[in-house]
Structure 1
Amino acid sequence: MTDTKSAAAPTARRTDGPRRTARPGLVLLVIAGAQLMVVLDATIVNIALPSMGDYFHKTQTSMTWALNAYTLAFGGLLLLGGRSGDLLGRRRMFIVGLSLFSIGSLLGGLAPSYGLLLFGRVVQGIGGAISSPTALSLVTTEFEEGEARTRAFAVYAAVSGAGAALGLLLGGVLTEYFTWRWVLFVNVPIGVVLIAGAYLYLHESERRQAGRFDALGGLLSIAGMVGVVYGFIHAANDGWSNSITVGVLVAAGVLLIAFFLWETRAADPMLPVRVIADRNRGGAYLVMLIVGAAMFGMFYFVTFFIQQVMHFSALRAGFAFLPVAFIIGVTSQIMTKALPRFGPKPLIVLGAGLLTVAMFWYAHVDAGSGYWNLFFPGLVVMAAGMGCIFVPLTTVAVARVRNTDAGVASAMLNVGQQVGGSLGLSILATVAATAGRSAGKSKAADLAQQVKAGHLRPDVFKHLQELTAAQQGHTPSAAALHDSAAVQAVAQIQAHSSGMGFLVAGFLGIAAIVVALILINVRKTDVPTEPSEVTAAA
C-alpha cells in the first residue's frame, strides 16, 4: 500500500495521557456498542413507522421524513464529525456524539407532536455523524495494527453488518409488545452506559497541536452532502426528471467540486488529499459506496415483499432477518484468520461476488415465492458476502493512515456506505416503480380481457386500485381484500417490480467486483500481522 509515510507527520500530543485501565475487551465493547446503537437505528424505526403515522395522523409518505430527517443530518455532517475527532480528541467527541444521540432519542420518544419527533431525529443524526466515524477511528488508535486490530475490525464489522437485521427484529418486538416510543427510548439507557464506559476505559487520542477547523471546507461539505442525500431522497419520491431533483443534485455536485478544489489549497484541510489519493483506500471507499447501494436496496425490497405480499407481521419479518445477524458474525470471525493468509483483495472480491449472486437469485422472485424456497437461501448467501467483505474492506480503508487523519479516513468509509445507500435506494426504487407501472398496465389489460369474456366482475379494477393504494398507506375495502383476482394481480405487479430492482442491484454487485479487481492491489504481505511490522506515518 502506498501512502505519505515518508512525509513528516504533524505534531501530535496526548491530552489526557494513557487510559485509566488497559482492558481491551471493555474498550471494544464500548466502541462496538456505540456502533450497534447507531446502526440499529437505521432499521428499528422502519418497523414502527405505521404506528407513528397512526399516532400523529400522518400518511406513509409523510412519515418517511422520520427517516429522512435523520439521514440528512447524519449524511451531511459525517465528514465534519470525523474531522472533529482528529482535531478535538476522539474520546471527547465520541462522548459528545453519544450524548447527542441519546438526547435526540429521548426527545423523539417523548414527542407530543410530529415536529418535535423530526427535531429529535435531527439531533440523533448529528450525534450519529459524530459518534460513528469516531468509533471506527478509535479502533485504529486503541488497537495496534496487526492481529489485534484485525480481530477488533471483525467485531466492528459484525456489529455494523448484523445491526440492520437486529434492528428489524428489535423494532418488531418493541412495536408489537410495547409502543412505537420504545424504539427511541431504548437508546437512552444504552447511551448512558456507553458514555460512562467511554469515560472510564478510553484514552484521549493524539490530535494536531496546531489544528483548526477548515470553516469553508466544512460549510461546503455540509451543504454538498446534504444536497446529495436530499436529491436522492427526492428522486426516490418524485423521480429523476423532477426539476427539484435535478436542481438540487446539480447544485450539490457544484458544491462538492468546489469543496475538493478548496481542500487542495487549504492550509489545514478537513479532508486531506493524501487520505483519498491512496489508490487502495480510494478503491475501498468506492467499493463501499457500490455495496451500500446494493445492500440497502435489497433490505428495502425484501422487507416490503415479505410484509405486503407474503403478509408477514412486523415481528415475524424481524425474525425472518435473524439468520443474517448470525451468519455475518460467524463469517466476520473467519475473516480474521483468512485475511493474513489470503490478503484483502481476494476476500473483497469473494464477498462482492456472493452479494451479486444473492441479488441475481432474488431477481427470480414471483408472486408465489416463499421464504424458505427463495428468501432464506438468498439471505444466507448475502450475509456470507457481507461478512466476507466488511473486515478486509475496513482494513484497507484505514490501514497505515496517520493517527491524526484516522477520524476523517473512517468518516469517508461511512460516507461511502451512507451515500451509497441513499443513491442505491433512489435508483432501485425508480427502476422498480417504472417496472411496476409497466406491469400494472399489462395486468390491467389482462384483467380487461377476462372481464370482457365474463370470467371476472367489472369491480376488479376498483379493487385493484384500492389494493395498489394500500401500499401507500390507504385502507382498502373488505371486498378488495377478498377479491382473489385483484390480490393476485397486485402480488404479480410487486414481484415484477421487485425483481427488476434486484436485477439492477446484481449489476451493481458486478461493478463492485470490477472496482475491487482494478483499484485494490494490496497483497497479503502488505497486511501487518504484528505491531512491529507497522511503519505508518503516525
Structure 2
Amino acid sequence: MVPEVPAPQADSRRWWTLPVVSLAQLMVVLDATIVNIALPSAQHDLGMSDGDRQWVITAYALAFGGLLLVGGRICGALGRRRAFLAGLVGFAAASALGGAAGDAGTLFAARALQGLCATLLAPAALSLLALTFTDARERGRAFGVFAGVGAGGAALGVVAGGLLTQYADWRWCLYINVPMAALALAGTPFLLRDRPDRGLPRPDVPGAVLSAAGLLALVYAFAQAEPRGWTDPLVLALLTGGALLLALFTAVEARTPHPLLPPRVLLHRARGTAFSSVFLMFVAMFGFFLFVSYYTQTILGYSAVRAGMVLLVNAVGGIVGSVGVAGRPHRRAGPHVLIVASLLSAAAGMLVLTQLTATSSHVFLGYLLPAQILTGLGLGCLLATATNLVTADMGPADAGIASAAYNAVQQLGAALGTALLNSIATGVTAGYLDRHGHGRDAVDAGTVHGYTVALWVAFAVLVCGALAAGALSRSGPAGSGARATEPVS
C-alpha cells in the first residue's frame, strides 16, 4: 500500500505546530508549581497572612480544574485556533497583572484569571495537536514530545521558581510567561486554521453548571483537607456536595440529546483506561514531588535551588520515557502494555524511597537518583501513551471536550494526591512524635517515617492502577480499543 503523501504546504508547516502548542502546555504546567518556591517572598512583600497565602495556589487550581469542561466545549464553539489565541493572550495578560500586583487581592485575582485562561489554552493546544497529526507514526513522535513537556514541566517549575526567586525577584515567576507567550504567539500562523464547529446544538447549560460546581467543590475540598483535616465539617460538606453534583451531572448527560461531555468520550475502553491511569499516576506523583522537595531541604539541608535540581533528574527521565519509549513505534507492545509498564516503573521508584531512613547514607546515588529516573520514565511514558489514546478517533466536534476531560483528570488527581498523601504523612509523623518525644533526632526520624508510609500508599495506588489497566486490556470487545493508535478520522 502506497502511503498517502500530504500536500506540500501542510507537510512543510505542520511540524511547527508542535513547538507552539508544547510551549503553551509548558506555561500551563509550569504555573502549577513555579510560585510554590516564591510564596514566602510574595507573602512578605504583599503582607499576606498565613491563612490567606494558600489562595495564590488555590485560586489557580480552582479556576483551572473547575471550569475545564466548559472551556473544552468553548474551544469547539470558537474554533481551536481562536480559543488558543484567546487563552494565550489572556494568560500572558494575567501573568503581567500578577507580576505587577501591589496587594494580595490583585495577585489572587490574577492567579484565578490565569487558571480561567488555561481552561481555553490547555484543551485547545491538545486538540490542535490531535487534529494536525493524523498519521499513527507521526502521532507517536508528536505526542511523545508534547507529553515530555508535561512530564517535566512540574519539576522545571520548582527549579525555575527557585532560580528566579533567588537571583531575580519572585515577580519574575509570573513575568516569565510574557516572553514565552510572545514566542508562542509568533508561531500561531503555522497552526491549523480550523473553523468553529457548525450546526452546534444549544449549549448544555445544566451540564455546564453541574460540572463546574462539582469540580470546584472537589478541588476546593482537597485544598482545604490539609489545613482543616478530612473530618472538618466544611471539607465533608464539599466532598459530599461535589460527589452528588457530579453524580447528578452524569445522570443529566445520559439523558440530554446534546451533552456537554458525551458518554462516548469516557466509555470507550481505551480512553477509560487512559483517564483512570493518569488520575492515579497524578495522585501518586504530586505527593512524591512534595516529599522529595521537603526531604532534600529539611533533612538533607539542600537549598531550594539544589532541591529543584534533584527533581530535574525526574524531568529528564520523563523526556526519555515520552520521546524515547512511548514516542517510538511498538509493533509488539500495544498501548495497554505501555500503560501497565509505566505504572509499574513509577511504583518501583516509590518503592526505592520507602526504604529511606533519617540516617541513610549515600542518599542521592542510592535512593534519590534511581527513584527519580524510574518515576520520570513511568510518568513520561504514561502521559505520551495516554494523550495519544484520549484523542485518537476524535473528530473536531469532540476533540476539545476530550482534551478538557483529560486535563481535568490530571488536576483532580494532583489535588487529591497532594492533600491525601500529605495528610497521611503528617498524621503518621505526629503519632511517631507522641511515642518517641520531640527531640531533634526524633523529629527527623518521625518526618522521614511519615514520608515513607505515604510513599507506601502511593506505591499501592500505582500497583492497583497497573492491575486494573492489565485487567481492562483483557476484557471487553476487541474493537473497543483496537484503533486507539490509528489516525484520527
Q: Tell me the TM-score normalized by structure 1.
A: 0.84
Q: Conserved in 1, the CA contact under 8 Å of 2:47 and 2:104?
A: no
The equivalent residue for 2:347 is 356
In the alignment, structure 1 residue 507 sits paired with structure 2 residue 488: no
The equivalent residue for 2:294 is 304
The equivalent residue for 1:459 is none
The equivalent residue for 1:380 is 373
Q: Describe the shift of the 1:101–1:349 C-alpha distance in structure 2 as closer, same or farther (beyond 3 A).
A: same
Once structures 1 and 2 are overlaid, which stretch shifts more, 264-273 or 241-250?
A: 264-273
Gaps of 5+ in 2: 1-7
Once structures 1 and 2 are overlaid, which stretch shifts more, 487-496 or 24-33?
A: 487-496
**Structure 1 letter corresponding to 2:136:** G
Query: Matched residues in 2 for 1:19 and 1:435: separation?
Result: 60
- Residue-by-residue CA offset, 1:461-489 (whole Å, 9 max, x unaligned): xxx5xxxxxxxxxxxxxxxxxxxxx3322
**Structure 2 letter corresponding to 1:419:** L
The equivalent residue for 2:3 is none
In the alignment, structure 1 residue 494 sits paired with structure 2 residue 447: yes
CA drift of 1:102 comes to 1.0
Paired residue secondary structure (1:63): coil
The equivalent residue for 2:316 is 326
Once structures 1 and 2 are overlaid, which stretch shifts more, 347-356 or 372-381?
A: 372-381
Query: Matched residues in 2 for 1:280 and 1:205: separation?
Result: 28
Q: Conserved in 1, the CA contact under 8 Å of 2:130 and 2:391?
A: yes
CA drift of 1:72 comes to 0.4
Paired residue secondary structure (1:311): coil
The equivalent residue for 2:406 is 413
Larger Cα Rg: Structure 1 or Structure 2? 1
> 1:2-13 counterparts in 2 under 5 A?
none
CA drift of 1:371 comes to 2.6
Q: Conserved in 2, the CA contact under 8 Å of 1:289 and 1:417?
A: yes
The equivalent residue for 1:451 is none
Q: Conserved in 2, the CA contact under 8 Å of 1:98 and 1:191?
A: yes
Query: Matched residues in 1 for 2:443 and 2:205: separation?
Result: 52
> 1:384-403 counterparts in 2 under 5 A?
384-403=377-396
**Structure 2 letter corresponding to 1:365:** L
**Structure 2 letter corresponding to 1:436:** T
**Structure 2 letter corresponding to 1:379:** Q
Aligned residue among 395, 412, 422 for 1:429:
422
**Structure 2 letter corresponding to 1:384:** L
Q: Conserved in 2, the CA contact under 8 Å of 1:208 and 1:404?
A: no
Q: Conserved in 1, the CA contact under 8 Å of 2:144 and 2:323?
A: yes
In the alignment, structure 1 residue 345 sits paired with structure 2 residue 336: yes
Query: Matched residues in 2 for 1:338 and 1:494: separation?
Result: 44
In the alignment, structure 1 residue 367 sits paired with structure 2 residue 323: no
**Structure 2 letter corresponding to 1:176:** Q
Paired residue secondary structure (1:87): helix
**Structure 2 letter corresponding to 1:336:** G
Q: Conserved in 1, the CA contact under 8 Å of 2:95 and 2:175?
A: yes
Q: Conserved in 2, the CA contact under 8 Å of 1:344 and 1:523?
A: no
**Structure 2 letter corresponding to 1:401:** M
**Structure 2 letter corresponding to 1:342:** A
Q: Conserved in 2, the CA contact under 8 Å of 1:19 and 1:204?
A: no
In the alignment, structure 1 residue 262 sits paired with structure 2 residue 262: no
In the alignment, structure 1 residue 217 sits paired with structure 2 residue 173: no
Q: Describe the shift of the 1:281–1:120 C-alpha distance in structure 2 as closer, same or farther (beyond 3 A).
A: same
Aligned residue among 161, 165, 178 for 2:168:
178
**Structure 2 letter corresponding to 1:32:** S
Q: Conserved in 1, the CA contact under 8 Å of 2:335 and 2:385?
A: yes
Query: Matched residues in 2 for 1:342 and 1:206: separation?
Result: 37
Query: Matched residues in 1 for 2:221 and 2:258: separation?
Result: 29
Query: Matched residues in 1 for 2:200 and 2:469: separation?
Result: 37
Gaps of 5+ in 1: 1-17, 445-463, 465-485
In the alignment, structure 1 residue 24 sits paired with structure 2 residue 18: no
Q: Conserved in 1, the CA contact under 8 Å of 2:13 and 2:190?
A: no
Once structures 1 and 2 are overlaid, which stretch shifts more, 256-265 or 18-27?
A: 18-27
**Structure 1 letter corresponding to 2:374:** V
> 1:466-477 counterparts in 2 under 5 A?
none
The equivalent residue for 2:125 is 135
The equivalent residue for 1:518 is 471
The equivalent residue for 1:9 is none
> 1:191-210 counterparts in 2 under 5 A?
191-205=181-195, 207-210=197-200
Q: Conserved in 2, the CA contact under 8 Å of 1:133 and 1:410?
A: yes
CA drift of 1:403 comes to 2.3
- Residue-by-residue CA offset, 1:377-405 (whole Å, 9 max, x unaligned): 11111111112212222222221122210
CA drift of 1:491 comes to 1.2
CA drift of 1:526 comes to 3.4
Question: Number of paired residues?
Answer: 476
CA drift of 1:64 comes to 2.1
Q: Conserved in 2, the CA contact under 8 Å of 1:20 and 1:201?
A: no
Query: Matched residues in 1 for 2:14 and 2:351: separation?
Result: 41
CA drift of 1:207 comes to 1.7
CA drift of 1:523 comes to 9.3
The equivalent residue for 1:455 is none
The equivalent residue for 2:78 is 88
Query: Matched residues in 1 for 2:266 and 2:458: separation?
Result: 26
Q: Conserved in 1, the CA contact under 8 Å of 2:270 and 2:481?
A: no
Query: Matched residues in 1 for 2:221 and 2:213: separation?
Result: 12
In the alignment, structure 1 residue 44 sits paired with structure 2 residue 47: no
The equivalent residue for 2:327 is 336
Query: Matched residues in 1 for 2:199 and 2:145: separation?
Result: 32
The equivalent residue for 1:13 is none
**Structure 2 letter corresponding to 1:489:** A
**Structure 2 letter corresponding to 1:499:** T
**Structure 2 letter corresponding to 1:386:** L
Q: Describe the shift of the 1:61–1:523 C-alpha distance in structure 2 as closer, same or farther (beyond 3 A).
A: farther
In the alignment, structure 1 residue 65 sits paired with structure 2 residue 55: yes
In the alignment, structure 1 residue 404 sits paired with structure 2 residue 397: yes
CA drift of 1:20 comes to 9.0
**Structure 2 letter corresponding to 1:358:** G
Cα-Cα RMSD: 2.1
Query: Matched residues in 1 for 2:10 and 2:136: separation?
Result: 23
Query: Matched residues in 2 for 1:357 and 1:202: separation?
Result: 40
CA drift of 1:199 comes to 4.2
- Residue-by-residue CA offset, 1:153-191 (whole Å, 9 max, x unaligned): 001110000111111111111111000000000001211
The equivalent residue for 1:241 is 231
**Structure 1 letter corresponding to 2:354:** A
The equivalent residue for 1:443 is 436
Q: Conserved in 2, the CA contact under 8 Å of 1:21 and 1:201?
A: no
Query: Matched residues in 2 for 1:208 and 1:266: separation?
Result: 19
Q: Conserved in 2, the CA contact under 8 Å of 1:339 and 1:524?
A: no
Query: Matched residues in 2 for 1:306 and 1:136: separation?
Result: 34
Q: Describe the shift of the 1:505–1:30 C-alpha distance in structure 2 as closer, same or farther (beyond 3 A).
A: same
> 1:113-152 counterparts in 2 under 5 A?
113-152=103-142
The equivalent residue for 1:471 is none
Q: Tell me the TM-score normalized by structure 2.
A: 0.93
**Structure 2 letter corresponding to 1:37:** M
The equivalent residue for 1:251 is 241
Query: Matched residues in 1 for 2:341 and 2:480: separation?
Result: 15
Q: Describe the shift of the 1:528–1:423 C-alpha distance in structure 2 as closer, same or farther (beyond 3 A).
A: closer
